[in-house]
A and B are shown apart, each in its own frame.
Chain A
Amino acid sequence: SQQGEEDPQALSIQEGENATMNCSYKTSINNLQWYRQNSGRGLVHLILIRSNEREKHSGRLRVTLDTSKKSSSLLITASRAADTASYFCATDVQGAQKLVFGQGTRLTINP
């Protein structure tokens, strides 16, 4: 089962620009996580934000969480060609002990 939507489904920007991806979900959560996946490869965990947090930073990544709107955003600043990948949000569903993924955003960074 899918938790929600991510938008945009695909995003293409120039190297050096910032990339913003959004995620919406449907249920109460313990936390929300963002992952990166290069084509045909496994998942790389990027960042986790707990339900009582509103913003978190890690290097060039900034994540926000609005539990009232059931939405999150991932901002990648100063993008690099190596950031080209698919990005997924995943919600740790409260009371269910499972991680449910959004539909993902395919990000392309053009050199």
Chain B
Amino acid sequence: GAVVSQHPSRVICKSGTSVKIECRSLDFQATTMFWYRQFPKQSLMLMATSNEGSKATYEQGVEKDKFLINHASLTLSTLTVTSAHPEDSSFYICSALGQGPLNYGYTFGSGTRLTVV
């Protein structure tokens, strides 16, 4: 089946620094990838949708200059949290939408727990 690898699983960074999270589709091509954020005891909130080779589409209220998304290839999307602050501490989850005859549908990574100190 389809597998999405997300790395790192946990990261602690100092306030003001930037953190990059990677999301890779391991055995299928994903023309579209999604980034979600989840605060404790809350649901997953869609942050942005990225299509390979084009600019990401951000949901209302999500700062595109703070959450930089790059989808440079059909198997890799990255989310960079720039100038991180403690309020950015959250669980970030990516999802990849598979294309092709097998139609994998939406496959989720295992998430990244970001703690900003």
- Chain A interface residues toward B at CB < 8 A: 1-2, 33, 40-43, 45, 48, 88, 92, 97-104, 106
Q: Which residue of A has the minimal Cβ distance to B48?
A: A98
User: Can you offer 7 A-B residue contacts whose CB atoms are under 8 A?
Assistant: A1-B60, A2-B43, A33-B106, A43-B44, A97-B97, A98-B49, A101-B46
Cα separation A52 to B76 with both chains bound (whole Å): 33
The interface residues of chain B, by DSSP majority, are classed as strand
Select B43's contact among A88, A92, A97, beta carbons within 8 Å. A88
List chain A residues, Cβ under 8 A from B43: 2, 88, 101-104
Counting contact residues on chain B (CB < 8 A from A), the size range is 20 to 34
In the complex, what's the smallest C-beta–C-beta distance from B116 to chain A, in angstroms?
17
B98 interfacial by beta-carbon distance below 8 Å: no
Cα separation A40 to B9 with both chains bound (whole Å): 11
- Chain B interface residues toward A at CB < 8 A: 32, 34, 36, 41-46, 49, 59-60, 91, 93, 95, 97, 105-106, 108-111, 113
In the complex, what's the smallest C-beta–C-beta distance from A28 to chain B, in angstroms?
17
Cα separation A48 to B106 with both chains bound (whole Å): 11
The 7 A-B residue pairs whose C-beta atoms are closest, nearest first, are A42-B110, A101-B44, A43-B108, A104-B43, A103-B43, A42-B111, A101-B43
A1 B59 Cβ-Cβ under 8 A: yes
In the complex, what's the smallest C-beta–C-beta distance from B104 to chain A, in angstroms?
11
Interface centre among B43, B59, B95, B106 (most CB of A within 10 A): B43
A41 touching B46 in the complex, CB below 8 Å, given contacts A48-B105, A97-B32, A99-B34:
no
Cα separation A106 to B43 with both chains bound (whole Å): 11
